[in-house]
């Protein structure tokens, strides 16, 4: 199978697909990718610069850290200020600035207890070792991560680890796509759908893209050949009135995804409205605790308030996430804002568009 995988990087094959693309494309197509791994793959491989002129790439809200709303970041900081609280989080989040440019890393330097973990299960271990403290795991991520967090909650319930809580700021991808595609300013002609999220939810939650909007949507893998094939498919599907979602990543994604993972996710959580950075409130695009597990809900336990609040001064992340601006159009890009001193989350996360632009020096 290694040999098969090699094919997906094969430059001659890429060239052939590019030739087909060039031949078959009639009018301009603006496609949006909504997965941070695609963002990085498109820039790292150089695809960005070899695509036909009529293929316009818009980078969407595919980075979970980036779409975490300003008020959610502020809630992390509020939590960090509380007594007997240990925050457990994945690494990227600690550098995202919130109010007054303050981030969890600063809070940690000021004495807050912030532990970086690599798996949500590690947070259970911390809870067990610190029975007199409350351990709050910062639940950020899409359908890809939410099932594992849900499984952690089930385990905590089973082990009666009452001092373990989760702050659920998870986001669901399909409702966000619905909002983005109906935005007349962004003018999206098709979606390059995320491989990882689709592994969990399958392809049918995206049916509305063709059915309701008549636009193509293609699930893609992460090698250049995968992405090019998906784009070629998009150009072809576009000719249909109501194109069906196409799974161009069959070696990674099955039509129905992973029903078991989805089941665990909805055992613990239920859909709720959620705030996205730059986009605002999206109906049914988040996950809150199902009644049965609400004793694990850090938002309730600590009465944390989430709501609209001012964006970071000068940062254009919101526009970048909606595909309305490329990172280099932000006046701070590469100057006041760079990976060693990021102003916004799109420069903090390695999956963020601004960081990818900076690293691969896209021009
Ligand atoms: Fe925000 Fe920095 Fe990106 Fe500008 S370059 S949008 S300040 S993260």
SS3 337: strand
pTM of the model: 0.93
Q: Are 302 and 308 in contact, with CB atoms under 8 Å apart?
A: no
So what's the pLDDT on residue 1?
Answer: 57
Q: How far apart are the first and last CA of the chain?
A: 36
Give the model's confidence band at 284: pLDDT under 50 very low, under 70 low, under 90 confident, else very high.
Answer: very high
Q: Given a cut of 60, is residue 289 above it in pLDDT?
A: yes
In this structure, what is the dihedral angle of CA atoms 26, 32, 38, 42, given to the nearest 10 degrees?
50
6-20, 28-42, 230-244, 287-301: segment of lowest average pLDDT: 6-20
Task: Give which of 231, 239, 247, 228 is closest to 16, Cα–Cα.
Answer: 228
Structure tokens, 42: 């498109």
Tokens of 360: 């691969």
Atom of ligand 1 nearest to the CA of 346: 8
- Ordered by start, the domain boundaries in the chain are 67-170+257-301
Above pLDDT 90, what percent of the chain? Answer: 80
Tell me, using a 6 A CB cutoff, whether residue 344 lines ligand 1. Answer: yes
Hey, what long-range contacts does 259-266 have (CB within 8 A, 24 or more apart)? 261/147, 261/200, 262/143, 262/147, 262/200, 262/201, 264/147, 264/150, 264/151, 264/154, 265/143, 265/146, 265/147, 265/150, 265/200, 266/290
Enter the tokens of residue 121: 């299960």
pLDDT confidence of residue 9:
78
- The protein residue whose alpha carbon is closest to atom 7 in ligand 1 is 315
CATH of 67-170+257-301, one of 1.10.510.10, 3.40.50.11740, 3.30.70.20, 3.20.20.70: 3.40.50.11740
Q: Where are the alpha helices (DSSP H) in the chain?
A: 2-7, 11-24, 36-44, 47-50, 64-67, 70-80, 104-109, 120-129, 146-158, 173-181, 195-201, 207-211, 224-237, 259-268, 298-301, 317-321, 345-348, 353-359
Query: Is the pLDDT at 18 greater than 90, yes or no?
Result: yes
101: helix, strand or coil: helix
Q: Write out pLDDT tens, residues 318-338.
A: 999 998 899 999 999 999 999
Residue 6 pLDDT greater than 90, yes or no:
no
| Model confidence band, residue 49 (pLDDT cutoffs 50, 70, 90) | confident
User: Is the CB of 348 inside a 6 Å radius of any atom of ligand 1?
Assistant: no
Report the nearest atom of ligand 1 relative to the CA of 337.
2
Cβ pair 205, 174 in contact under 8 A: yes
Q: Is the pLDDT at 362 greater than 70, yes or no?
A: no
Is 277 touching ligand 1 by the criterion CB < 6 Å?
A: no
Half-sphere CA count of 116, side-chain side, radius 13 A: 9
CA of 26 to the centre of ligand 1 (A): 34
- Residue 202 confidence class, pLDDT cut points 50, 70, 90: very high
* pLDDT given for residue 4 in this prediction: 64
Average pLDDT of 271-279? 95
Whether ligand 1 lies within 6 angstroms of the CB of 73 is answered as no
- Using DSSP, state whether 281 is helix, strand or coil: strand
**What are the helix and strand counts (H, E) for the chain?**
18, 11
Compute the distance from residue 315 Cα to the ligand 1 centre, in Å.
5
Whether the Cβ atoms of residue 69 and residue 276 lie closer than 8 Å to each other: yes
Give the number of the atom of ligand 1 that is nearest the alpha carbon of residue 320. 6
- Give residue 293 CA to ligand 1 midpoint distance, Å: 37
Q: Quick check: 348 pLDDT over 60?
A: yes
Q: How far apart are CA 164 and CA 344, in angstroms?
A: 30
CA–centroid distance, 349 to ligand 1, in Å, is: 11
Q: Which atom of ligand 1 is nearest to the CA of 353?
A: 3
With a 6 A CB cut-off, is 356 part of the ligand 1 pocket? no
Q: Which of 327, 331, 348 to mutate to test the pocket of ligand 1 (most atoms within 8 A of CB)?
A: 327
* CA count, 13 A, side-chain hemisphere, 361: 0
Q: Yes or no: say if 115 and 129 are a contact pair by the CB < 8 Å rule.
A: no
With left for phi above 0 and alpha for psi between -120 and 50, is residue 46 left, alpha or beta? Answer: left
Q: Which residue's alpha carbon is at the smallest distance from atom 5 of ligand 1?
A: 333
Q: How far is the CA of 314 from the centre of ligand 1 (A)?
A: 8
347 Cα nearest atom in ligand 1: 8
Dihedral sign (CA 106, 109, 110, 112): positive
C-beta of residue 263 within 8 angstroms of C-beta of residue 201: no
Distance 109 CA to ligand 1 centre (A): 24
CB of 354 within 6 A of ligand 1: the answer is yes
Over range 113-136, report the average pLDDT: 97
Output the pLDDT for position 5. 60
Ligand 1 atom closest to Cα of 314? Answer: 7
pLDDT tens readout for residues 66-120: 999 999 999 999 999 999 999 999 988 999 999 888 999 999 999 999 999 999 9
Mean pLDDT over 174-194 rounds to 94
346 lines ligand 1 (CB under 6 A): yes
Q: What rounded mean pLDDT belongs to the chain?
A: 93
Sign for the pseudo-dihedral over CA of 330, 333, 62, 9: positive
- Give the distance (Å) from ligand 1 centre to CA of residue 101: 13
- The whole-number pLDDT of residue 3 equals 67
332 CB less than 6 Å from ligand 1? yes
ipTM higher than 0.90?
A: yes
Q: What percent of the chain has pLDDT over 70?
A: 97
Confidence (pLDDT) at 313: 83
């Amino acid at each position: 199978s290694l040999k098969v995988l090699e094919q997906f990087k094969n430059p001659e094959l890429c060239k052939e697909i590019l030739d087909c693309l060039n031949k078959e494309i009639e009018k301009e197509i603006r496609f949006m990718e909504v997965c941070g791994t695609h963002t990085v793959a498109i820039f790292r491989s150089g695809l960005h610069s070899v695509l036909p002129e009529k293929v316009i790439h818009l980078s969407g809200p595919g980075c979970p850290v980036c779409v975490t709303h300003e008020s959610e970041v502020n809630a992390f900081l509020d939590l960090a200020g509380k007594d007997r609280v240990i925050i457990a989080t994945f690494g990227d989040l600690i550098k995202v600035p919130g109010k007054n440019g303050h981030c969890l890393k600063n809070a940690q330097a000021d004495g807050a207890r912030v532990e970086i973990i690599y798996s949500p299960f590690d947070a259970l271990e911390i809870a067990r070792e610190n029975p007199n403290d409350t351990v709050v795991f910062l639940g950020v991520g899409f359908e890809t991560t939410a099932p594992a967090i849900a499984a952690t909650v089930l385990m905590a319930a089973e082990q009666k680890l009452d001092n373990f809580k989760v702050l659920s700021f998870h986001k669901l991808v399909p409702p966000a796509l619905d909002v983005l595609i109906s935005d007349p300013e962004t003018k999206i002609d098709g979606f390059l759908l995320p491989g990882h999220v689709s592994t969990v939810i399958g392809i049918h939650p995206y049916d509305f893209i063709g059915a309701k909007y008549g636009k193509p949507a293609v699930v893609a893998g992460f090698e250049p050949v995968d992405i090019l094939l998906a784009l070629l498919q998009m150009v072809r599907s576009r000719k249909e009135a109501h194109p069906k979602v196409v799974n161009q990543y069959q070696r990674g994604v099955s039509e129905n995804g992973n029903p078991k993972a989805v089941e665990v996710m909805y055992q613990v959580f239920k859909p709720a409205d959620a705030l996205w950075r730059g986009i605002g409130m999206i109906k049914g695009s988040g996950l809150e605790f199902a009644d049965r597990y609400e004793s694990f809900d850090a938002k309730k336990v600590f009465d944390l308030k989430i709501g609209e609040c001012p964006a970071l001064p000068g940062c254009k992340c919101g526009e970048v996430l909606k595909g309305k601006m490329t990172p280099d159009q932000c006046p701070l890009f590469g100057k006041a804002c760079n990976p060693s001193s990021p102003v916004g989350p799109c420069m903090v996360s390695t999956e963020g568009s601004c960081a990818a632009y900076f690293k691969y020096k896209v021009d």
